[in-house]
Structure 1
Amino acid sequence: MILRRTMQSICLRTINPNTTTSIILQVVNDDGSLLPCAINAATAALVDAGIPLKHLAVAIACGLEESGSVLLDPTKLEEQ
C-alpha cells in the first residue's frame, strides 16, 4: 500500500486521466530493505517509460542499533 500511494503521488495523472499504468516488480532476492528498493526501482521504471512525474521519489532504510549506532541499508537480520 505504501508503494502504491508513493507512486500515485509522484505521477502527473491529470495529463492522461484515462490511462492506467501498471508497475510489476519481481523480487529476486530479499536480504532486507525491500520497500526502499521497490520504491527506487518503480521510480526508475517510470522515468525510463517516460511517464510524466511531479517529482522523483527516492528511499533508503535506516535503523538504530542498541548501542546507538545508525545502520544504513540494514540486512534482513539487522532489521529484526
Structure 2
Amino acid sequence: GYLPYCLSKIALAHQAAAWRKILSPGVRVGLVEPGLALIPPGFPEGEWRRMRARGRIPGPDTPGKVAGAVLQFVRGRRYNFPIR
C-alpha cells in the first residue's frame, strides 16, 4: 500500500525541518518533493481525472522540473512545487 510511502514523505519533511533548526543560520537545508505520478491501486481512473481537473491533485513533475527546483535552491532562490 501507500502507507509506508506516505509515512516516509512525512518523516523526510520533519527531518528537513529539524536540520534547518540545527544548522541555521550557517547552512541552508532544502527538500524537493515532486508531485504524485501514479494512480493508487484500485482508485477509479475517472475520479482521478476529475480530481486532477479540479486542481486537487497536482500533476506529475517531470525530471526537468525537479532539476529546476534543485538548481533554484543551489542558486539561493525559493522554488515551490507544483509549478503551473
Q: Where is the strand percentage greater, Structure 1 or Structure 2?
A: 1
What is the TM-score normalised by the length of structure 2?
A: 0.32
What is the TM-score normalised by the length of structure 1?
A: 0.33
Higher relative contact order structure (alpha carbons within 8 Å, sequence separation ≥ 6): 1
Q: Where is the helix percentage greater, Structure 1 or Structure 2?
A: 2
